[in-house]
């Protein structure tokens, strides 16, 4: 019954051996007894020997289960520790919002911009990584890369904290004109000392729109002599008009803010602005007079008076600027030309001159009577009563 026939398959052989053992318990006991005797004789541990008899597949499965359970337990323990440390801490995946910054479709990008800006400084690491990725060779010249950087600057401008300065300074040197301009504008609104170098450097940007934004931003932070000189040169430049206007406004702010700045600007103006104003053939003479009047240079007043009266019909906006510059001079000598202009009964010049006299009267006692007379005159013209 237990005989193994020649040519019998291996599986059948195993089966036959198993059948033989199960039907012959005495034989099995003899085999085990003999095995124990050999183990004792040869010094072999029977327990260790029997363990190796387990199939290798079973050992591997058991080992895998142990490892998996250990890893799961460690992960569960770590998770419990993290949650136990602060159960109110959550993580936010910003990648979908970052990806949405690539498009100029406002319905897609605006919600992402608002969401990232709402995170405040916590969003800056993700924005820095996205900025670096958008400047890689593969994306640098693509519209998606540029649009991403434009949107990132908008987010930084909305966050508006000191932590945004390094990224904005980096963006102020971007290859895209729009990115540079928006970054300079954002730095100007921050108005911090660590924004100054980037803004002053942008005054020399080859793109007029960037230089114009730098000129506007300078009113809060610029202080170097080189920057003040550049602003004065811009203020008397004919084209583009936005640069001259922004430069004058910034110089006006700097003069009002700091006495030292006013003195330094006046010294530079004597070399840059006054010679142009005194040149009757200079095409930008009126622009020079506007700047000189703002700085309180007396020789500018006659030029400004002529500009206001003679150009009111052909260039009313420049005429208004000239009247305002007379008032901005804060000089006692400014009262007489303003009085004269206020009496022209011109629908543009008269109210502008009266407003300039009223502003001047706040700091100049000579202008008070003239300002009151001008106010009474306007009330009478309007059919009102005077007190």
Task: Tell me the pTM.
Answer: 0.69
In three-state secondary structure terms, 387 is: coil
DSSP state for residue 102 in the 8-state scheme: T
Location of structure tokens 């193994």: 4
Give the angle subtended at the CA of 271 by the CAs of 267 and 277, to the nearest 5°. 115
Q: Is 380 left (phi over 0), alpha (psi -120 to 50) or beta?
A: alpha
Q: Is 296 left (phi over 0), alpha (psi -120 to 50) or beta?
A: left
Q: By CB neighbour count within 10 A (0-12 exposed, 13-18 middle, 19+ buried), where does 283 fall?
A: exposed
Which residue ranges make up each domain of the chain? Answer: 93-159, 162-272, 281-387
Is residue 191 a contact partner of residue 229, using CB atoms and an 8 Å limit? no
Is residue 368 a contact partner of residue 355, using CB atoms and an 8 Å limit? no
Is residue 325 a contact partner of residue 289, using CB atoms and an 8 Å limit? yes
**Residue 96 CB neighbours (<10 A):** 9
Question: What contacts 204, CB < 8 A, 6 or more positions away?
Answer: 211, 230
The per-residue DSSP string of 283-326 comes to TTHHHHHHHHHHTT-TTHHHHHHHHHHHSTTT-HHHHHHHHHHH
**CA dist 122 → 56, 92, 158, 166, 190 (Å):** 53, 10, 13, 15, 19
CA–CA separation, 47 vs 31, rounded Å? 16
DSSP state for residue 368 in the 8-state scheme: H
The per-residue DSSP string of 39-64 comes to HHHHT--HHHHHHTTS-HHHHHHHHH
Domain 162-272 bears CATH identifier 1.25.10.10: yes
CA–CA separation, 348 vs 317, rounded Å? 9
One digit per residue, the tens of pLDDT, for the chain of length 387 reads 444 444 444 444 434 333 433 344 444 434 344 444 444 444 444 444 444 455 776 656 666 666 666 666 555 555 545 545 677 888 889 999 999 999 889 999 999 999 999 999 999 999 999 999 998 866 655 888 999 999 999 999 999 999 999 999 999 999 999 999 999 999 999 999 999 999 999 999 999 999 999 999 999 999 999 999 999 999 998 678 889 999 999 998 998 887 778 889 989 999 999 999 989 888 888 889 989 998 889 999 999 999 999 888 888 888 998 999 999 888 999 999 999 998 888 888 989 999 999 999 988 888 888 888 888 877 777 765 444
Is residue 163 a contact partner of residue 191, using CB atoms and an 8 Å limit? no
CA–CA separation, 353 vs 344, rounded Å? 10
**CA dist 275 → 135, 234, 267, 299 (Å):** 46, 15, 13, 11
């Amino acid at each position: 019954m237990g005989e193994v026939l020649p040519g019998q398959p291996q599986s059948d052989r195993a089966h036959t051996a198993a059948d033989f053992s199960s039907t012959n318990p005495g034989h099995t006991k003899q085999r085990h007894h003999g095995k124990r005797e050999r183990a004792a004789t040869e010094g072999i541990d029977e327990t260790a020997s029997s363990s190796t008899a387990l199939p290798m597949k079973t050992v591997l499965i058991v080992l895998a289960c142990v490892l998996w359970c250990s890893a799961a337990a460690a992960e569960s323990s770590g998770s419990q520790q993290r949650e136990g440390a602060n159960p109110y801490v959550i993580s936010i995946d910003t990648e979908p919002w970052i990806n949405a910054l690539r498009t100029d479709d406002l319905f897609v990008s605006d919600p992402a911009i608002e969401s990232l800006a709402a995170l405040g400084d916590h969003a800056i690491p993700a924005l820095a990584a996205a900025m670096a990725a958008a400047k890689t060779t593969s994306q640098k010249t693509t519209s998606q890369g540029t649009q991403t950087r434009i949107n990132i600057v908008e987010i930084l401008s909305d966050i508006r904290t000191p932590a945004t300065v390094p990224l904005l300074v980096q963006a102020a040197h971007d290859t895209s004109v729009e990115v540079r301009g928006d970054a300079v504008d954002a730095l100007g609104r921050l108005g911090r000392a660590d924004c100054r170098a980037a803004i002053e450097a942008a005054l020399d940007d080859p793109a007029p729109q960037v230089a114009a934004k730098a000129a506007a931003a300078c009113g809060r932070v610029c202080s170097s002599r080189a920057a003040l000189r550049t602003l004065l040169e811009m203020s008397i430049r004919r084209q583009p008009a936005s640069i001259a206007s922004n430069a004058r406004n910034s110089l006006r702010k700097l003069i009002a803010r700091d006495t030292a700045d006013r003195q330094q600007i006046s010294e530079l103006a004597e070399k840059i602005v006054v010679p142009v104003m005194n040149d009757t053939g200079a095409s930008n003479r009126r622009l020079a007079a506007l700047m000189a009047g703002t700085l309180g240079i007396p020789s500018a007043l006659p030029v400004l008076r002529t500009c206001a009266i003679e150009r009111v019909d052909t260039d009313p906006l420049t005429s208004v600027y000239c009247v305002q510059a007379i008032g901005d001079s804060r000089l006692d000598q400014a009262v007489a030309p303003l009085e004269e202009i206020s009496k022209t009964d011109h629908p543009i010049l008269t109210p502008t001159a009266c407003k300039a006299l009223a502003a001047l009267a706040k700091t100049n006692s000579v202008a008070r009577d003239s300002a009151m007379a001008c106010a009474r005159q306007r009330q009478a013209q309007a059919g009102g009563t005077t007190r």
